[in-house]
A and B are shown apart, each in its own frame.
Chain A
Amino acid sequence: MAEKLLEIKHLKQYFNIGRPNQVKAVDDVTFDIYKGETLGLVGESGCGKSTTGRTIIRLYDATGGQVLFNGEDVHGKKSKSELKKFNRKMQMIFQDPYASLNPRMTVADIIAEGIDIHGLAKGKKNRMERVYQLLETVGLNKEHANRYPHEFSGGQRQRIGIARALAVEPEFIIADEPISALDVSIQAQVVNLMKKLQREKGLTYLFIAHDLSMVKYISDRIGVMYFGKMVELAPADELYKNAMHPYTKSLLSAIPLPDPESERTRRRILYDPAAHHYEENEKVEMRELAPGHLVFCSEKEFEQYKTQYKK
């Protein structure tokens, strides 16, 4: 069995606690992430994917639960130097390339910020060499180093964000829709690049995205979230072949395909959360349907799923 890099246990993140607009953005979610794998995270917009990522990386204090990184509690108290070390190991690439880059810094300074904080460059020349190399790695060029973020297109900005995350040579990267803002040809470049970096440096990814064909392509395993809960978790191929949770099925039926004819005849499966008819005291939890394939369901549903399950 692969080694666990992260263990997320009963993670909860509530907003506006005690007020009428309380949101249970992440509501008791448990999963592991193995060293060197890519775990894809998909689900309805607003279901808590970004919040899960942000809480793991400690941008928010968790309302409840635990996050262990190499067996150490991320949310436990830590000294300043420990925190710094920790911050370098986990990096995040953000969903919104516009809001996440400081408009008053040049691209070179944005990318080199982490290099400076962690003292990773030997002298000015080496610092710029690294910046140039990172720019090239993400498909930009040297001339871009002295420009400002507003001079770039959405996709170009996202690549700057990726270069920034890579600059400190992290072990674990949370990529929150890193390619949503990119056109397909550049998406392919970035995804090939992320895979290559993973092979070479043993990186581990949590990859949040909406493009299911891309998620399937890049992920070893995929988790599906709905309304703050993880509803299904399985190896990538298995999830596409044997989706069990009705929300997953609905999601898969909505993937638009690059073929006008099949789009004209598309039939979507709709998901109605009320259709589960869970009773008051029924225990609804993650149950293992096949090795590594977990579904959030009741005992009754579990029996049903087992009979439906195809090998």
Chain B
Amino acid sequence: MDKILEVKDLKVSFQVYGGEVQAVRGVSFDLFKGETLAVVGESGSGKSVLNQTVMKLIPMPPGKITGGQILFHGEDIVKKTDKEMEKIRGKEISMIFQDPMTSLNPTMKVGHQITEVLLKHQNMSSHQAKERAVELLRLVGIPMPEKRINQYPHEFSGGMRQRAMIAIALAANPSLLIADEPTTALDVTIQAQILELMKDLQKKMDTSIIFITHDLGVVANVADRVAVMYAGQIVEIGTVDEIFYDPRHPYTWGLLASMPSLDSSHEEELTAIPGTPPDLTHPPKGDAFAARNKYALAIDFEEEPPLFQVSETHFAKTWLLHPDAPKVEPPEAVKRRMRKLSSTFEKPILVKEGN
């Protein structure tokens, strides 16, 4: 399979009052043509910053890429000028942002915001662009699109704004679509419709998709592979089956255990992961998750864990996979979903020492 994107040891920081927030701390991953990679992880773990960096959309300053490479079709984006990026953005890479209200222009009619993209990147006449805009709004499930194109964003409901954003992102038929929580403001029926639409588009155009979400149901639905982020790092990555049926990192366990299922009772407390996310101006020594991890070992407070490989496609960064680590049992809710997968190696292989 062709790699469309290779991110190598990427580091991103923000200068803030009182120090430097290390939002992305050495992230590496590949993205193949036509695949969907879901990115999950705690709020503040750097999912948005990571993906905005791929489009070079973080404000610089205060933001800064302090290390690493982002190869898009083999070319390093980190070195590109704003002008060169302009050409790539909206055409080859599109992004659906997490906050529709701040990324839609409040003073411009919704229809106009879509035709703008079409006129800029697609060589259409303004009449064609208008027709296509109506069609796109219809595709994302907005009723009476002929009328709606003449409205302003504040006249749309939250979910309709989000769908307008999706229409804009799809307008250019990008080869890489980065979708940051694209369906969180949508009800499940429209969500299902949008997910089907994205998959359809993907099949037709061989689009690669990075899908950021915290809805694990959506992840199970769309993802080929899943990356789990914690405190600016990818702590586990694998195929969707590997992450849901054979998770190895305690943070992934915590995520899977904190979801209510449709048959949870009202009396039961949800098992939230205790504590607060670490302050990334001073990332803790050792493993950033140690303080909140009941499975933490003495070494976790001293040394960053290495990266282990559990199958051809499955990697996790935790001391628990070390041959000398004690054997621990994941929480009940996780044990219930565990299965033995045929692709798993006999023993985890150490692939990279911690920093």
Q: Do the beta carbons of A146 and B17 come within 8 Å of each other?
A: yes
- Known: A153-B43, A180-B184, A250-B189. Is A257-B217 also a contact (CB below 8 A)? yes
B187 within 8 A of A: yes
- Known: A156-B43, A210-B187. Is A192-B266 also a contact (CB below 8 A)? no
Interface centre among B16, B45, B147, B260 (most CB of A within 10 A): B260
Q: Which of A71-79, A82-90, A263-271, A281-289 contacts B (4 or more CB under 8 A)?
A: A263-271
Q: What string of 1s and 0s marks CB contacts (under 8 Å) between B187-202 and chain A?
A: 1111110000000000
Cβ of A139: which chain B residues have Cβ within 8 Å of it? Answer: 276
Q: Which of B78-86, B96-104, B119-127 contacts A (4 or more CB under 8 A)?
A: B96-104
Q: Which of A250-299 contact B (CB under 8 A)?
A: 250-251, 254-260, 262-263, 266, 268, 271
Q: Do the beta carbons of B260 and A217 come within 8 Å of each other?
A: yes
Q: Do the beta carbons of B273 and A185 come within 8 Å of each other?
A: yes
Q: Which of A187-207 contact B (CB under 8 A)?
A: 187-189, 191-192
Contact of B272 among A43, A96, A189, A250 (CB under 8 A): A189
Q: A224 → chain B, closest Cβ, in Å?
A: 10
Q: Do the beta carbons of A256 and B217 come within 8 Å of each other?
A: yes
Q: What string of 1s and 0s marks CB contacts (under 8 Å) between B139-182 and chain A?
A: 00000000100110001111110110000000000000000010
Cβ of B44: which chain A residues have Cβ within 8 Å of it? Answer: 152-153, 155-156
Cβ of B217: which chain A residues have Cβ within 8 Å of it? Answer: 213, 255-258, 263
A217 to B262, CA, bound (A): 8
Cβ of A212: which chain B residues have Cβ within 8 Å of it? Answer: 188, 262
Q: Do the beta carbons of A268 and B17 come within 8 Å of each other?
A: no
B135 within 8 A of A: no
Q: B111 → chain A, closest Cβ, in Å?
A: 13
Q: Which of A32-52 contact B (CB under 8 A)?
A: 42-47, 50-51
A240 within 8 A of B: yes
B220 within 8 A of A: yes
Which B-chain residue is minimally distant from A237 (CB atoms)?
A: B266
Contact of A210 among B188, B216, B260 (CB under 8 A): B188
Q: Which of B64-72, B250-258, B299-307, B319-327 contacts A (4 or more CB under 8 A)?
A: B250-258
A141 within 8 A of B: yes
Q: Do the beta carbons of B214 and A15 come within 8 Å of each other?
A: no
Cβ of B150: which chain A residues have Cβ within 8 Å of it? Answer: 21
- Known: A46-B159, A257-B217. Is A153-B276 also a contact (CB below 8 A)? no
Q: Do the beta carbons of B258 and A184 come within 8 Å of each other?
A: yes
B interface bracket (residues with beta carbon within 8 Å of A):
35 or more
Cβ of A256: which chain B residues have Cβ within 8 Å of it? Answer: 188, 191-192, 215, 217-218, 220-221
A92 to B21, CA, bound (A): 31
Q: A215 → chain B, closest Cβ, in Å?
A: 10
A183 within 8 A of B: yes
Q: Do the beta carbons of A183 and B214 come within 8 Å of each other?
A: yes
Cβ of A3: which chain B residues have Cβ within 8 Å of it? Answer: none
B185 within 8 A of A: yes
Q: Do the beta carbons of B272 and A185 come within 8 Å of each other?
A: yes
Cβ of A156: which chain B residues have Cβ within 8 Å of it? Answer: 43-44
A93 to B259, CA, bound (A): 22
Cβ of B352: which chain A residues have Cβ within 8 Å of it? Answer: none
Q: Which of A10-30 contact B (CB under 8 A)?
A: 15, 20-21
Q: What string of 1s and 0s marks CB contacts (under 8 Å) between B221-260 and chain A?
A: 1010000000000000000110011000000001110111
Contact of A147 among B16, B45, B190, B240 (CB under 8 A): B16
A107 within 8 A of B: no
A181 within 8 A of B: yes
Q: Do the beta carbons of A42 and B43 come within 8 Å of each other?
A: no
A5 within 8 A of B: no
Contact of A260 among B156, B163, B244 (CB under 8 A): B244
Q: Do the beta carbons of A258 and B244 come within 8 Å of each other?
A: yes
Contact of B43 among A151, A154, A210, A236 (CB under 8 A): A154
- Known: A185-B42, A192-B270, A255-B262. Is A45-B157 also a contact (CB below 8 A)? yes
Cβ of B329: which chain A residues have Cβ within 8 Å of it? Answer: none
Q: What string of 1s and 0s marks CB contacts (under 8 Å) between B203-220 and chain A?
A: 000000000001111111
A254 to B258, CA, bound (A): 21
A60 to B170, CA, bound (A): 34
Q: Which of A126-162 contact B (CB under 8 A)?
A: 139-141, 143, 146-147, 151-156
A187 to B215, CA, bound (A): 11
B269 within 8 A of A: yes
A59 within 8 A of B: no
Q: B157 → chain A, closest Cβ, in Å?
A: 4
Cβ of A214: which chain B residues have Cβ within 8 Å of it? Answer: 260
Q: Do the beta carbons of A42 and B187 come within 8 Å of each other?
A: yes
Contact of A254 among B155, B160, B191 (CB under 8 A): B191
Q: Do the beta carbons of B192 and A254 come within 8 Å of each other?
A: yes
Q: Do the beta carbons of B269 and A211 come within 8 Å of each other?
A: no
List 3 tightest A-B contacts by C-beta distance, closest first.
A155-B43, A45-B159, A256-B217
Instruction: For the A-B complex with A45-B187, A154-B181, A188-B259 known, give 4 more contacts whose Cβ atoms are closer than 8 Å.
Output: A45-B162, A45-B186, A183-B45, A185-B273
Interface residue ranges, A against B (CB under 8 Å): 15, 20-21, 42-47, 50-51, 95-96, 98-99, 139-141, 143, 146-147, 151-156, 177, 180-189, 191-192, 210-214, 216-217, 236, 240, 250-251, 254-260, 262-263, 266, 268, 271
